[in-house]
Chain A
Amino acid sequence: MADYARPLPQPTPETRHFWEGCNAGELRLQRCTACAHTYFPPRPFCPVCSSRDVEVFKASGKATLYSYVINHRPRPDFGEAPHSIAVVTLEEGPRMMTNIVDCPQTPEALQLDMALEVTFEKAGPEISLPKFKPVKG
């Protein structure tokens, strides 16, 4: 997955903290200071109570595997080998789309609810993508 000739995210003012965090090796989430709800993707208000009183914090990077597919169709931007496209549930509650890396891309190796941790892959001069890998041991 070293070839990143693929569509990269273009940060906006409301999401910049997240992508800057990825570059700094931190998974950053947002929390509402009014109702304590933790959420993702980023936005400048709480999606539960609409309060604009929100803060950014560093998440643990721990997650579990919620669901996934293994794409078998060759793609010019992702290469020929089958690869996982997964949704993980972060320890703090929100879910995010990602890829599971550092393990075989097979149903046997990718068990739902397995423990995962974040790892950041440099994808461009200003973008690192948050990927997840199995927790060893």
Chain B
Amino acid sequence: MKKKSVAVVGAAETTQMGKIPNVSQIALHADAALNALKDAGLKISDIDGVATAGDSPVEVAHYLGITPTWVDGTSVGGCSFMLHVRHAAAAINEGLCKTVLITHAESGRSRVGARRFSRDPASQMGQFEVPFGVTSPPTMFTIPVLRYMKEVGVTEEDLAMVAVIQREWAAKNPRASYRDPITVEDVLKSDMIAWPFRKLMCCLVTDGGGALILTSAERARDFPQKPAYILGTGESCETPMVSQMEDFTTSKAFRVSGKKAFDEAGIRHADVDHLMIYDAFAHLPLYGLEDLGFCERGEAASFIRGRNTAPGGKLPLNTNGGGLSYMHSGMYGMYALQESVRQMRGIAPAQVPGAKISIAHGVGGMFAASGTIVFSNEAP
């Protein structure tokens, strides 16, 4: 990818975030797209590639008035946008299109024009998981963690600390949903959702969206914003059923996707200035830090406890506040990418001084899929 590089030249979130009962889901897609076009200084007729997840890219393209020559509807959960970035880079390099728009929008909280979520009772999940009460992320994503805690010695306090430190980042972000400081005790006293998970260990449910515009690095210099170059990308998947993960203490999809992205970027862990790990629940950053190779197995909790990922630490993590405190409309991967782009532009509310390399790592489904993007603000 280095010879024929691709960059993000437009990036924006929806005008409003949080609770938006007066805007439907498809209009949120459009709002994010129009904001990203404005950011890039482009017209809708400049877009010839469209990707989205959950909703159909056909719906998004038609609603916005785009006739694309490249369409990607890869929908593997909240990391789908990382996969879109990866696929778009390949498509642009192959000449299938020149300028790609990737959108996410979900009326996750207000449910205005939101698709209904249901599982076929004849599907594998419908037969072998749903009948036992596994229907939503709080009773699905959470199931592996007791095994992880027992095997590596992680405690409820360690899980709580993930939420506490992310709230410190959120406090610096005027757009974050929750900004008041919390303590480990506050987290452990919050409502029980699915033991051992308390409410403050679970992500928000909000309305919102975001959009990215990508083009070749060659053209990227002509755009008004500082380009966020794509150095490396990875993707993988493991199983649609959390019960069928090979090992409950590590995600195979994370490991494969992460290694691919690191190898392609040709970087070492010490080169990474800023990191986003999709945190639908408090254990995700622990798995991510270990499966991406930033920490040895079982050491992520003490790494976080030691404030390495906190403001002032050596590896700033989830600097927008994360899904736990910033925003989570259903497919958070888009917001992780947005924060990486802001950090590469040097305009994040909690800017990491001098950051040159940022990684956005996403999860899809319940450890089902994964996507990883390595960004740099220096042309490769």
Q: Which residues of A contact B (CB under 8 A)?
A: 6-12, 15, 19, 41, 66-73, 75, 77-78, 82-83, 85-87, 95-99, 107, 112, 123, 127, 129
Contact = CB atoms under 8 A, between A and B. Distances in A.
B126 interface: yes
Given A41-B124, A85-B143, A97-B243, A69 B248 contact: no
Contacts, number: 110
Contacts of B69: none
B126 A9 contact: yes
A112 B196 CA distance: 13
Given A73-B193, A97-B241, A67 B131 contact: no
A15 B122 CA distance: 9
Interface stretch (B15-23, B44-52, B132-140, B171-179): B132-140
A66 B131 contact: no
A97 B142 CA distance: 13
Contact of B131 (A8, A15, A70): A8
Given A66-B147, A97-B132, 11 more contacts: A8-B121, A66-B248, A69-B143, A70-B194, A71-B138, A73-B139, A78-B133, A85-B132, A96-B128, A98-B132, A112-B150
A89 to B, nearest CB: 10
A10 B147 contact: no
> Across chains A and B, which 7 residue pairs bring their CB atoms closest together, nearest first?
A9-B127, A67-B147, A70-B195, A69-B194, A10-B122, A10-B121, A97-B243
B194 A99 contact: no
Contact of B193 (A72, A86, A129): A72
Contacts of A15: 127
A9 B128 contact: yes
A129 B128 CA distance: 9
26 contacts: A6-B131, A7-B126, A8-B121, A9-B121, A9-B122, A10-B120, A10-B121, A10-B126, A10-B127, A67-B146, A69-B143, A69-B145, A69-B196, A71-B138, A71-B194, A75-B133, A75-B135, A82-B192, A85-B133, A85-B134, A87-B242, A97-B241, A97-B243, A99-B133, A107-B196, A112-B147
A17 to B, nearest CB: 13
B183 to A, nearest CB: 22
